[in-house]
Amino acid sequence: MNSSWESLKILSDSTRLRLLALLLKEELSVAELQEILGMAQSRISSQLALLRQAGFVSDRREGKKAFYSLRPSLPPRQLALLKAACESVAELPESAEDRASLDRSLQKRRQVSEQYFNLIAGRLGRNHCPGRSWEAIGHLALRLVPAITVADLGAGEGLISQLIAHRAERVWCIDNSVKMVEVGTELAKKNGLANLTYKLGDIEQVPLPDKSVDLAILSQALHHASHPQTAVDEAFRILKPGGQLLVLDLKEHTFEKAHELYGDLWLGFKESALHGFLKQAGFQKVEVAAVSREENEPHFETLLASGVKGGK
């Protein structure tokens, strides 16, 4: 709308002017406007439609909610006219009441957010938060890997190693599947990761020299080992003094079909069992903790175990 006469006609309605005065201060949903003004939704929606048609406001959808705000590209003359109209009624009781109701509505917004985080304080890592997945956090954490030598034992196609290799000096992927080694090698070549090497081998007899790596990883591989203790012993052997082992594996469960569906030899491990494997191998500073639980049945839980190889 370019006509000042038409703009004046729009602004001559008290409901529309009260709506615009609120939207000058904050983007608001229809429900919030309804609560602030104490009017029926149909009345507010019809007036907002006229304001949008006149070019005063714009709207956006957020799921099922519609939010309205002053149009960013409102012409200067039209904006000046609007502000003058709002200022002319600013001292009226209705305007003062609207401002107070707006403050309460915005305070309610903040309280909703605060109440949620107060409720889950101390449990945030165990509750679903949109965008806060372990996969996303893993991508972040893996970018922090220093220039070290890493052995991914039972790597499969090597998703973790593909990420680590962007920062690490050298990454070895060990897997007993010929096909996995072929696929992983092609993937590393495709991604230009010359420092990532796949080797055919068993995690219970790792084809790497003693004291040759800084970090060893057993990610969801230990429950496929015939002798888990042997696999952990091998990880200890190939680590340099001061090197670290990280184990991600399933917590002990009763889902028997895992043997058939996933080729699992072990139905996960107790925390005490993982702790025992690392201690018996000679690791120091051993820690074991549950880090995730799947929402869907059979509700698999994942444990993270870590240990450091002592000595010099």
> Is 163 within a domain?
yes
> Is 258 within a domain?
yes
**CB-CB contact of 19 with 41 (8 Å):** no
> Is 127 within a domain?
no
Q: Exposure pattern of 86-116 as b/e (b: 16+ CB <10 Å)?
A: beeeeeeeebeebeebbeebeeeeeeeeeee
Question: H or E stretch including 260?
Answer: helix 258-262
> Is 129 within a domain?
no
> Is 171 within a domain?
yes
> E strands, the chain, where?
28-29, 57-62, 65-70, 149-153, 170-175, 196-200, 213-219, 239-250, 283-293, 301-309
pLDDT for 176 equals 86
Query: In tens digits, what is the pLDDT along the chain, a chain of 312 residues?
Result: 446 788 888 889 999 999 999 999 999 999 999 999 999 999 999 999 999 998 899 998 867 778 899 998 888 888 999 999 999 999 999 999 999 999 998 888 777 655 655 564 555 445 544 555 556 656 666 667 788 999 999 988 778 888 888 889 999 999 988 888 888 899 899 989 999 999 999 999 999 999 999 999 999 999 988 889 999 999 999 999 999 999 999 999 989 888 788 888 889 999 999 999 999 999 999 999 998 888 888 889 999 999 999 976
Q: For tokens 């990420």, name the residue.
A: 163
Instruction: Please state the φ and ψ torsions of residue 310, each to the nearest 5 degrees.
Output: -80, -175
Domain boundary among 121, 153, 170: 121
Copy the structure tokens of residue 219: 């990610």
pLDDT for 155 equals 87
pLDDT for 265 equals 86
Regarding whether 70 and 184 lie in a shared domain, the answer is no
Count: domains in the chain: 2
Regarding whether 142 and 233 lie in a shared domain, the answer is yes
Domain boundary among 121, 153, 177: 121
Q: Which domain holds residue 228?
A: 134-309
pLDDT for 134 equals 55
Rounded alpha-carbon distances, angstroms, from residue 116 to 14, 38, 129: 37, 27, 11
Please give the single-letter amino acid code of residue 175: D
Domain boundary among 100, 121, 142: 121
CA-wise closest residue to 24 among 92, 93, 91, 95: 95
